[in-house]
Amino acid sequence: MKYAAIVIDHVKNPRNAGELPSANARSRVRSSADGDVLQLHMRIENGIVQEVRFKVYGCGAAIATGSILTEIVLGKTVEQLKSVTNEQISQILGGLPPQKIHCSVLAEQAVQSALEDYCKNAS
């Protein structure tokens, strides 16, 4: 399987890995394709993502998508988060192999689930 250099970089040097105790938007999603798990924690203040962390239990492509996802969402508004898509994530990563697209789908699901958590707790 051939990956773009950015994928390899994020696998070897994941950004924003770990947990975020002060998070007010959390999600944990599992891929039905292979069982990979992505956990996303965000701290949102005044409608803007101030901090974000992720944890992945899965393959290198899942690690890369979790890592790049944190860079994508940091500084974004809640409204902007609603438009994060797996296609966008895959494109930023230079295109994922077809058998690894489920990793970018997992990242999209993690953002949407964390948004649901945030909205539920904010009301």
Instruction: Tell me what the mean pLDDT of segment 15-22 comes to.
Output: 96
What mean pLDDT value characterizes the chain? 95
Q: Which fold has domain 5-118?
A: Sufe protein. Chain: A (3.90.1010)
**How many alpha carbons fall within 13 Å on the CB side of residue 108?**
15
Beta bridge partners of 54: 17, 40
List the strands of the sheet with 48-57, edge to edge.
25-30, 37-45, 48-57
Percent above pLDDT 70 for the chain: 99
Mean pLDDT on 2-14: 95
pTM above 0.85, yes or no: yes
Residue 80 contacts by C-beta under 8 Å, 6 or more apart in sequence?
none
With 80 as the cut, is the pLDDT of residue 116 above it? yes
Non-local CB neighbours of 84 within 8 Å, separated by 6+ positions: 69, 72, 73, 76, 107, 108, 111
Express each pLDDT in 97-109 by its tens digit.
Answer: 999 999 999 999 9
Q: What residue ranges do the domains of the chain occupy?
A: 5-118
Q: How many residues does the chain have?
A: 123
Confidence check: pLDDT of 2 > 90: no
Q: Residue 85: what are its φ and ψ, rounded to 5°?
A: -125, 160
pLDDT of residue 123: 67
CA–CA separation, 18 vs 119, rounded Å?
Answer: 23
Does the structure show a pLDDT above 90 at 84?
A: yes
Per-residue model confidence as pLDDT tens digits over 50-78: 999 999 999 999 999 999 999 999 999 99
How far is the C-alpha of 118 from the C-alpha of 23, rounded, in Å?
Answer: 9
E strand map for the chain? 25-30, 37-45, 48-57
Q: In this predicted model, what pLDDT tens digit does every residue of 24-51 receive, in sequence order?
A: 999 999 988 789 999 999 999 999 999 9
